[in-house]
Structure 1
Amino acid sequence: MHSIELLLDDASDAAVRDDWRLLAEAGLPSLAGHTGATNAPHLTLSAAARFDDRADPRLLDVFSRLPVSVEWGGFVVFGRGPRGLVLARGVVATSALLDLHRTVHESVGGAGPVEHSAPGRWTPHVTLASRLSPEQLGRALEVLSESEVDGATARLTSARRWDGDARVVVPLGGPTPPG
């Protein structure tokens, strides 16, 4: 899988990592357990089996408009069945964010696009945990009920392309992202 991602400002990154930590300390699935150097709280703009590498110069231009300010929304839940549920923080879909999302999709091309990341089908979010059972989801919401993130403003400060085949990130704008 390949993806185009936006990374958060330092304070928002720390707040999401704190949510990851709270979940892990409660014995719940959390992205805190993913210790790879490239693991960072992010908002995925596009995902596909493969992107056209020639899109990178176009994306550098698109991401020259960073940072973009957004507001955190409530929790969102995705999934069902044996793979479990995904818990995420919603991000309010402002016109600026939706415009950036559409422009990225027009710029990347690629093979095997992931339908739920397409314009008109995309739900902006930052993932907190995956593979949750319904019981764990209830507990996770309880654990995060006191989180300071709700309604706060975040800034999307840099962009990267994740190349899942080579397992590397390619910086696409803003300060150099992790990985």
Structure 2
Amino acid sequence: MRTVELLCSAELDAAVRAGWHRLTAVGLPSLDRNTHPTNRPHLTLAAVDEFPPGAVARLAALLDDALPLPVRLGEVAVLDGSAPLVWLVRPDPELVALHRAVWAALADADGRSPWHAPGRWQPHLSLALRFRDADAGLAHAVLRAEPRAGAFVAARSYDSATRTVTPLGRAGPPTC
């Protein structure tokens, strides 16, 4: 699988990581425990089996034009009742337009994830991958003071087969 991900500004990245750490400190699941060097806060726009020919150049061009992109965070939520704990990202028109453009750039890709399809995609920053709805109240209390705005400043692709990342577009912050 290959993804298209937006990376947070240094300030937003630090705020999300601080949230991960606070969740861990109170005994809740958190991505703070994932020590793989590619683990960092990000927003996934698309996931496909492989990029079709020419897709990387198309993606790089549209991402370079769109970034940096201001972002506003919404509520903390447990998706589907017993799955990831996330910070919802408000789908501003610019973010929705970028998402649709990425989806169109990957129109020829095999194995496009239906979770990322326009109309179904729920933009978010992950806080924990396995989370019980019953713990949501404590998570809300722990994360209440976090900032609610920031920016996406760079993009990358994660390759699940090799567990590596590749920058998409002009160089941004280190992507591991």
Task: Give runs of aligned pairs for residues 29-108 of structure 1, distance below 5 A.
Answer: 29-52=29-52, 54-65=54-65, 66-80=67-81, 84-108=82-106
Q: How far off its partner does 1:86 sit?
A: 1.2
Aligned to 1:164: 160
Change over 3 Å in CA distance of 1:104–1:177 after alignment to 2: farther
What code does the residue aligned with 1:102 have?
R
Q: How far off its partner does 1:170 sit?
A: 1.1
What code does the residue aligned with 1:172 have?
L
132-141 or 19-28, which deviates more: 132-141
Q: How far off its partner does 1:110 sit?
A: 1.8
Is 1:177 the counterpart of 2:174? The answer is: yes
Query: 1: CA distance between counterparts of 2:151 and 2:100?
Result: 19
Superposed CA RMSD: 1.5
Verify the 8 A CA contact 1:7 1:177 in the aligned structure 2. Answer: no
What code does the residue aligned with 1:124 have?
P
Q: Percent identity?
A: 38
Write the deviation string for residues 70-98 of structure 1: whole angstroms up to 9, x where unpaired. Answer: 11111232134xxx321111111111111
Query: 1: CA distance between counterparts of 2:146 and 2:173?
Result: 27
Change over 3 Å in CA distance of 1:76–1:119 after alignment to 2: same
Pick the structure with more strand per residue.
1
86-95 or 42-51, which deviates more: 42-51
Verify the 8 A CA contact 1:85 1:131 in the aligned structure 2. Answer: yes
136-145 or 165-174, which deviates more: 136-145
Q: Which runs of structure 1 show a deviation greater than 3 angstroms over 4 or more consecutive aligned residues?
A: none
What code does the residue aligned with 2:83 have?
L
Query: 1: CA distance between counterparts of 2:3 and 2:88?
Result: 18
* TM-score (ref. length: structure 1): 0.90
113-122 or 136-145, which deviates more: 136-145
Verify the 8 A CA contact 2:158 2:165 in the aligned structure 1. Answer: yes
Verify the 8 A CA contact 1:160 1:177 in the aligned structure 2. Answer: no
Query: 1: CA distance between counterparts of 2:77 and 2:131?
Result: 13
Q: How far off its partner does 1:53 sit?
A: 5.2
Query: 1: CA distance between counterparts of 2:140 and 2:83?
Result: 13
Query: 1: CA distance between counterparts of 2:110 and 2:84?
Result: 25
What code does the residue aligned with 2:76 have?
F
Aligned to 2:142: 143
Aligned residues: 173
Verify the 8 A CA contact 1:159 1:177 in the aligned structure 2. Answer: no
Q: How far off its partner does 1:144 sit?
A: 1.7
Q: How far off its partner does 1:122 sit?
A: 0.9
